[in-house]
Structure 1
Amino acid sequence: MDTVITIEIVKAQPDDACHERVSRAFGWFDHVEQRCSRFVESSELSMLFRSETGTPVSVSPLLFQLIEFALAVSQASGGAFDPTVGQAMAARGYNRNFRTGQETSHQPHATRETSYRDVVLNREGGTVTLLKPMVLDLGAVAKGFAMDLAAAELGCFTGYAINAGGDVLVRGRNSVDAPWRIGIKNPRKPAELIETLVVSDGAVCTSGDYERPRPDGQPGHHIIQPQTGESASIVASVTVVAATAMLADALSTASFVLGRKRGLRMLESQGVDGLIISPRLELYATSGLSKYRR
């Protein structure tokens, strides 16, 4: 997933069983990547979009759940979030594995006019049907999904913090028996913090225009406006606090594309809190974010 993953745990008397759970927690990140990454030629996702168009394909429950969630967010956001942007991302230089640098040459030529509505799920049969040639990109949900799966392994600890490249999921209290403090980067000076949130249980995920510039050196970044295929540019960053990392991850991307007003409305409607930062570093928050500010 091209990111550094750390897990900080809090427990008075760790035992071997708990250490084994930490190992399993780390393992989920590789497992999700190997199944759900378009950059892995042998992944289940890659095999799906290489399948014959219009043919139902049986997929694992894990991949089905991830695609189903991505489509639900697509619908809730009116298409601002759309996993069918993979071809547009590849055309802008995001066609290499970020970790190895290897180009993904296995991806099919996709129809330009695709949307999440061209993906059909059959829950009873556990199948996915792609109605048009397309490249699915699940990057905006897969990392959060892996974080949630990892967290499910850590119930034996009184507190923990999973940090995956700055996206954080915490439970309980830290090693000094205080809520976890999570910094939000200044999108114009990422080495500095612009805000700090105090969270005991939940996930904090950020989407920012400073995170992955275009590899080809052209202006732009990795967060695509699905309707235009260009980098979204209305805001500089969006941070979301939610019960799960998958939800926070997806909604931060959707709200980034929607912009300040529509993004805040969506976050409020989904019952989560968030902070949207404009290119001029103006801060706009949901009504409930104040409970996390100190």
Structure 2
Amino acid sequence: MNAHPPPTASRRRFFALATGTCAALMTQCSRQHGLHRVSRSAKALGTTVTMTALHADESKAATALDAAFAELEHIESVMSIYRPESQLSRLNREGVLGSPDPLLVEVLRYSNEMSKRSDGAFDITVQPLWRLKGARPDTATMSLVDWSKVKVDAQSIQLAPGMAITLNGIAQGFAADVSMRVMHAHGVEHALIDAGEFSARGMNAEKAPWRIGIQHPREPDAYAALTQLENRCLATSGDYETSFSADFSRHHILDPRTGQSPGELASVSVLASTAMAADALSTALFVLGSQRGMELLQNYPGTDALLILKDGRHLATPGFPFAA
């Protein structure tokens, strides 16, 4: 499971291909095939979020982006671990949160379900392990890691004493899903969202499926594979972004059951119908390893994965859409 890196660290790196996205905090517009392409970027949830919308009416595309970024700001005010006033930060400080935002309840309930299905490989209570920077945890610290002790209902959320949670393995995906829903509600049928995880809808400006390059885990300026997103979402968990050892044996992805970094895989990329599912599954598969991870994936129809082992070998599901 991913403990939370400092806000200057990006957990995942991708190359967006033929997307029209921009890196500046500004809007860029172009018109191709009768559609305006409007892109906008901003900092949120410890990363740079870029949203691209295509629409025949430029003003409607811009309005949709305004609404999506407003919702993103709301999500950050609830789930950011970097904002001391967020609901998540208050919960971690006080151990209890009354009248939680419904979005936080939704994410925590999904997290608990993923923890149950993965036999604890996915666990949002690993945050205390992050302070150890990859060192072996003691018994007292490990006692604070237990997803089943997170009590969630519409009225309140409660943690056991001393526990703290991180949503780094799921919040970015959830933010991409919600932002895409907002843009669709504003009439946008073709869009790409990069919130650390990718959510795609419709086609790109060339009337082709959105194509994404997946970061190579050992070559910073290269990608390991190209894939295309046809109304699906992509998330990758890798050992390379926040590593505590030169050989990548100790890093920010932690097995909640041992407190140590899993040793088999270098990266896991998952394609799923929602970015939240892809986000959580990429972490769960990384922790479980190739054999048990692929077994878990069988419970999620319409989901594919690309696993890169530390020795360089690639494993992929039969339906993984490699692009030329």
**Structure-2-length-normalised TM-score:** 0.77
Q: C-alpha displacement at 1:197, in angstroms?
A: 0.9
What secondary structure does 1:10 align onto?
Answer: strand
State the alpha-carbon separation in 1 of the partners of residues 220 and 273 from structure 2. Answer: 25
In structure 2, distance between residues paired with 1:90 and 1:20: 41
1:42 pairs with 2:72 = no
Measure, in 2, the Cα distance between the counterparts of 1:207 and 1:28. 25
Find out whether 1:83 has 2:124 as its counterpart. yes
- 1:136 paired residue number: 165
Kindly state the Cα deviation for residue 267 of structure 1 after the two structures are TM-superposed. 1.4
In the aligned structure 2, how far is the partner of 1:79 from the partner of 1:251? 12
Query: Are positions 1:64 and 2:113 aligned together?
Result: no
Residue 159 (structure 1) shift: 0.8
Displacement of 1:56 after TM fit? Answer: 7.3
SS of residue matched to 1:236: strand
Q: Distance in 2 between matches of 1:160 and 1:286?
A: 26
The match for 1:74 is 115
Question: In 2, distance between residues paired with 1:212 and 1:27?
Answer: 29
Paired residue total: 270
- 220, 228, 231: which is aligned to 1:201? 231
Find the residue that maps to 2:222 and give its secondary structure. strand
Gaps of 5+ in 1: 94-109
Which letter maps to 1:36?
M
In structure 1, what is the Cα distance between the partners aligned to 2:249 and 2:213?
27
Give the 3-state SS of the residue equivalent to 1:194 in structure 2. Answer: strand
**Pair 1:268-2:298 in alignment:** yes
Aligned residue for 1:153, secondary structure, equals: helix
The CA deviation at 1:46 is 1.7
TM superposition score normalised by structure 1: 0.85
| Residue of 145, 161, 177 corresponding to 1:148 | 177
Aligned with 2:147 (options 113, 116, 120): 116
Task: Give how far 1:89 is off.
Answer: 1.1
The match for 1:157 is: 188
Counterpart amino acid of residue 163 in structure 1: D
Contact 1:87 1:134 in 2 (8 A): yes
Considering only aligned residues, what root-mean-square deviation do their CA atoms show, in Å?
Answer: 2.2
- Residues in 1 aligned to 2:227 and 2:147: alpha-carbon distance in whole angstroms: 33
Structure 2 counterpart of 1:92, from 130, 133, 149: 133
Give the letter for the 2:308 counterpart: I
Match of 1:182 among 208, 212, 216: 212
